[in-house]
Amino acid sequence: MKKRILTGDRPTGPLHLGHYVGSLKQRVELQHTYETYVLIADVQALTDHFEDPEQVSKNVFEVALDYLAVGINPLETAIVVQSAVPEIAELTVFYMNLVTVGRLRQNPTVKTEIKEKGFGKMLPLGFFSYPVSQAADITAFQADCVPVGADQAPMIEQTRDIVKRFNGLYGKTLVEPHILLSKFPRLPGTDGSVKMSKSLRNVINLSDSADVVKKKVTAMYTDPTRLRATDLGHVKGNPVFTYLDAFDFNTELVDDLKKRYRKGMVGDVEVKDRLIEVLNVFLEPIRKRREAYAQNPKKVLHILKEGTERGRMLARDTVSKVKRAMGIDYF
Ligand code: TRP
């Protein structure tokens, strides 16, 4: 039997190149060998967007378009809408008993996010405890593997702890998931900061037009120590070169640009022009596919509905096994 994978994204905006490098690329490749489920995690997104739910709901469709545009094949991958699988919420409630507040407080990813979002004393319980609901996501679909970036590792650890605790208390019921760590390092932002992130406004979206890509790349951060094209340049930590490494198939050309850059024999403009060309060649077929699906919203909704139904069958099966194990399957 094929092993099963589950991944997901919070629909709070369009997906960008960072998503692609960090996980979408891997998912598109893995879907042929694994039974794949991709979760549009709108319930998780609401934990920090509950005051503006439209920000989430309007992006569910956009994220679906991004998935389809990059080559997630709905015949191979079930795209599941989280809020339409109430079994996940049910599992979350049971798992809450198996996790301590102290353990949740130690989650480094959530800790960082709490700081970034500046919740202070107004930290919502739903946000604080979202790793528990993510454990419900992963176990609901009985996933063997979760292919994600390093920032998600604490969530998989938390899930494994819950699974071990559950199975220890009630008998072997839940599947213990493994992390499949993304091979690709995180993509920096166009401003040179360590990550590409919508909230930092340093992203290139998969749906950006050729003109927007050109504008964003032209304004990109390069080597701040270099004032003239003849100054010796730094390639390391220069996001323009990091992007070329990630997207340019012509490694010889990139190596030559790097050599000349270090020697002060090429200007930023030439390097950026190459990147603009490479990114637009990469994005053009993605834009075309996105547009084709966008023209046919009925078809997209059908794909989501069908994927969600497929996911829900698994989640129902998990809940019934969980209830049986706990002895609360009364009827
Ligand atoms: N927390 C993930 C993120 O912020 C999104 C997510 C929700 C997820 N549920 C998941 C990822 C289950 C993997 C598996 O990107």
Ligand 1: centre distance to CA 225 (Å): 38
Distance 135 CA to ligand 1 centre (A): 10
Beta bridge partner(s), residue 228: none
Q: Which fold has domain 208-290?
A: Tyrosyl-Transfer RNA Synthetase (1.10.240)
Distance 172 CA to ligand 1 centre (A): 25
Amino acid 185: pLDDT: 75
**How crowded is residue 296: how many other Cβ atoms within 10 Å of its Cβ?**
11
Ligand 1 contacts CB of residue 10 (under 6 A): yes
pLDDT of residue 22: 87
Q: Which CATH architecture has domain 4-187+297-326?
A: 3-Layer(aba) Sandwich (3.40)
**Integer angstrom CA distances of residue 82 from 19, 132, 214:** 19, 14, 35
**At 278, is the secondary structure helix, strand, or coil?**
helix
Helix (H, G, I), strand (E, B) or coil at 36: strand
Binding site membership of 63 for ligand 1 (Cβ less than 6 Å): no
Domain boundaries, the chain: 4-187+297-326, 208-290
Beta strands in the chain (DSSP E): 4-9, 35-40, 77-81, 145-148, 178-181
Is residue 184 within 8 A of residue 22, CB to CB? The reply is: yes
85 ligand 1 Cβ < 6 A: no
**What's CA 66's distance to the chain center, in Å?**
12
Distance, CA 259 to ligand 1 centroid (Å)? 39
Ligand 1 centre and the CA of 313: distance in Å? Answer: 20
- Residue with the smallest CA separation from ligand 1 atom 2 is 9
- What tokens were used for 237? 């930590």
Residue nearest to atom 11 of ligand 1 (CA): 8
Q: Is the CB of 47 under 6 A from ligand 1?
A: no
* CA 287 / ligand 1 centre spacing (Å): 25
Which strands, in side-by-side order, build the sheet including 77-81? 77-81, 35-40, 4-9, 145-148, 178-181
Ligand 1 atom 10 nearest Cα: 8
pLDDT, tens digit (0-9, with 9 covering 90-100), for 64-109: 999 999 999 999 999 999 999 999 999 999 999 999 999 999 999 9
Please give the DSSP secondary-structure letter assigned to residue 205. Answer: B
The pLDDT value given to residue 149 = 86
On whether the CB atoms of residues 181 and 153 are closer than 8 A, the answer is yes
d(CA 41, CA 11): 7
Identical fold between 4-187+297-326 and 208-290: no
Question: 146 CB less than 6 Å from ligand 1?
Answer: yes
Residues in the chain, pLDDT under 70: none
pTM for the model: 0.94
Sign of the torsion formed by the C-alpha atoms of 270, 271, 272 and 276: positive
Of 182, 166, 184, the residue nearest 174 (C-alpha) = 166
